[in-house]
């Protein structure tokens, strides 16, 4: 009986390693299953979702520097009713603004559910008290529109557009708020 590397004439048969690799590659191609079809991936916009004055709103990721539970704060004399007070957050004084009151709406949400979105940019350091935090939201870019749904006049100047779908999500413009003289004039 001939040895494995010998042919029937007793001569040694050696295959070149390249030939072995080619044979292996050919066998793999013939036995391989097809690749799954490519899924269409749509571009998404990500932001922080929150509820405010009865609306589902979104904040761009770069707008909010921090999210806090409502901190203890000290009330300030002679300020508008929507300014809750000032809180000490890691050694910095953070003004707390009740955004529902700013929009002329009374919030009925329990205090433990409310959150503070901290803005810390362009010389503005302020905590905006919102009704509820809804976490990260990923919206298909194709559903964005600058045309706004029917909104209260108090809210409209601070909304740059909306994502539509199962629910309309308004994109809140914090820059517009931070540069609005009505928001900046807190004294009575």
Tokens of 148: 């706004």
Q: How large is the average pLDDT for residues 137-156?
A: 91
d(CA 71, CA 32): 60
Tokens of 133: 């935090």
pLDDT of residue 162: 96
| Higher pLDDT pick, 142 / 41 | 142
| Higher pLDDT pick, 150 / 122 | 150
d(CA 179, CA 77): 23
| Higher pLDDT pick, 76 / 167 | 76
pLDDT of residue 116: 98
Q: How far is CA 76 from CA 13, 69, 95, 140, 177, in A?
A: 95, 20, 10, 43, 21
* Residues whose CB is less than 8 angstroms from the CB of residue 3 and which lie 6 or more positions away in sequence, other chains included: none
**Which SS3 state, helix, strand or coil, does residue 19 take?**
helix
d(CA 137, CA 64): 14
> So where are the chain's domains?
44-184
Beta strands of 34-131 (E only): which ranges? 44-52, 55-60, 66-69, 83-89, 92-98, 115-121, 124-130
99 phi/psi in degrees, rounded to 5: -70, -30
d(CA 171, CA 47): 9
Q: Is residue 126's pLDDT more than 90? A: yes
pLDDT of residue 148: 85
**Which SS3 state, helix, strand or coil, does residue 152 take?**
coil
Q: Is residue 169's pLDDT more than 90? A: yes
pLDDT band at 172 (very low <50, low <70, confident <90, very high): very high
Q: Is residue 9's pLDDT more than 60? A: no
pLDDT of residue 13: 65
Q: Is residue 97's pLDDT more than 80? A: yes
Instruction: Indicate the CATH number for domain 44-184.
Output: 2.40.50.180
Average pLDDT, the chain: 88
pLDDT of residue 11: 47
Q: How many percent of the chain have pLDDT more than 90?
A: 63
**Using one digit for the tens of pLDDT, what is the confidence trace for 28-65?**
777 777 666 666 667 999 999 999 988 999 999 889 99
């Amino acid at each position: 009986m001939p040895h494995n590397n010998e042919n029937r004439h007793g001569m040694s048969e050696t295959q070149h390693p390249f030939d072995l690799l080619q044979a292996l590659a050919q066998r793999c191609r013939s036995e391989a299953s097809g690749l799954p079809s490519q899924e269409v991936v749509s571009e998404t916009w990500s932001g922080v979702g929150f509820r405010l004055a009865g609306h589902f709103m979104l904040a761009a990721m770069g707008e909010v520097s921090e999210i806090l539970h409502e901190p203890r704060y000290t009330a300030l004399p002679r300020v508008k009713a929507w300014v809750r007070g000032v809180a000490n957050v890691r050694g910095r004084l953070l003004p707390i603004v009740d955004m529902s009151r700013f929009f002329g709406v009374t919030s009925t949400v329990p205090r433990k559910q409310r959150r503070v979105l901290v803005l810390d940019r362009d010389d503005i350091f302020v905590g905006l008290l919102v009704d509820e935090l809804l976490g990260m939201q990923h919206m298909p870019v194709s559903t964005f529109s600058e045309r706004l749904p029917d909104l209260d006049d108090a809210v409209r100047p601070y909304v740059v557009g909306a994502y539509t779908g199962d629910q309309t999500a308004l994109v809140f413009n914090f820059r517009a708020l931070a540069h609005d003289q009505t928001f900046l004039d807190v004294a009575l």
